[in-house]
Amino acid sequence: MSSSHPVDDAAISAQVPLHQRPRRLRRTEAIRKMVRETQLSVNDLIYPLFVMEGEDLKVEVASMPGCYRYSLDLLLKEVSEVYELGINAIALFPVVTEEKKDATGTESYNPEGLVQRTVRAIKQAVPEIMVITDVALDPFSSDGHDGIVDENGVILNDPTVEVLVKMAVSQAEAGSDMVAPSDMMDGRIGAIRRGLDAKGYTNVSILAYSAKYASAYYGPFRDALDSAPKFGDKKTYQMDPANALEAIKEIDLDIAEGADIVMVKPALPYLDIIYRVREHTQLPVAAYNVSGEYAMIKAAGQQGWIDEKKVMLETLTSIKRAGADLILTYFAKEVALILR
Ligand code: PBG
């Protein structure tokens, strides 16, 4: 009957008309931009920065290529530069010299301490930028733990919280806009909120490291601060990587105690947690793209095994897509330069 070749006939009959062809919306860059669901913006980014004593110093962290410990004078330049690039917030971490560390972290609430001096200087030089200060004992502790350690090696909760309150108040006095407890002691958000309010710092907000896991991804950060625990690990206070429901419990507690923003940390191995937390709360959700996540991308990029820039953007987009409103990332400056 048909004059055409039997193979052609078979091909034609297999062409059922398709009403949906998703590839139509992927045809050109213009249409892809129009239907893009997740937009990474410089407004999402918080830039962690390391400050150390001294002058005119900028020392690269060996396990974090492209990240530096800055002395205060050079840090101020870096802060104004990133503010010019549109970054709204920095998270400050101090490199504390060994002789200033002790068992109870008293240096952490010294009004003339490195953090306090740095906050005052930034607030003078670049008053508009949000300064977020970390509240935890580890950079100040001779034991390298986030809490006070007793003679049996147990991390004491309530005595630690008392120090954390002093630290947070002292940071607020110096001009910190937002305090970020990263220690995982029980009840610290409520205690810090009460402590700040009692001193009149009702406008200082709390970014709570609520679901912070006992992660091996923090290694390079501990190199940067020389803050690795002198014994044991952090598993009695940071969360078990196997747990998800417990993250929601921690989030609920921190919200009840007065957190303004809740955080999941690390980010990439915990995208499911970010998603669950985003579904669960109306508060802004932050995620910490931690040092080990950064180091892996940098290392593979340096080897020429991956396209570092593309992997960086894909990773940060995935963290935002999972539900993070804010991302703490060492890539912040690089991303700001690209998005500009
Ligand atoms: C300590 C603290 C850590 C990080 C931020 N604050 C390390 C830790 O808990 O041991 C890690 C950040 C990173 O790895 O980028 N309170």
Tens of pLDDT along 217-263? 999 999 998 889 999 999 999 999 999 999 999 999 999 999 999 99
Probe target for ligand 1 pocket from 47, 90, 138, with the most ligand atoms within 8 Å of CB: 138
Catalytic residues, by residue number, are 212, 265
91 contacts: CB under 8 Å, gap ≥ 6: 46, 47, 48, 49, 132, 133, 134, 180, 328
Residue 166 structure tokens:
């002093």
Sequence ranges of the domains in the chain: 38-339
Mean pLDDT in the chain? 96
Residue 311 structure tokens:
């992997």
**278 touches 285 (CB < 8 A):** yes
Dist. CA 174 → ligand 1 center (Å): 22
The finding on whether 221 has its CB within 6 A of some atom of ligand 1 is yes
Which residue is associated with the tokens 């593309």?
310
Rg (CA), the chain: 24
In this structure, the residue with its CA closest to atom 11 of ligand 1 is: 218
Q: How does pLDDT run across 282-323, given as a tens digit for each residue?
A: 999 999 999 999 999 999 999 999 999 999 999 999 999 999
Which residue is associated with the tokens 């305090």?
179
- Fold of the domain built from segment(s) 38-339: TIM Barrel (3.20.20)
- State which amino acid sits at residue 254: D
Q: How does pLDDT run across 53-93, given as a tens digit for each residue?
A: 999 999 999 999 999 999 999 999 999 999 999 999 999 99
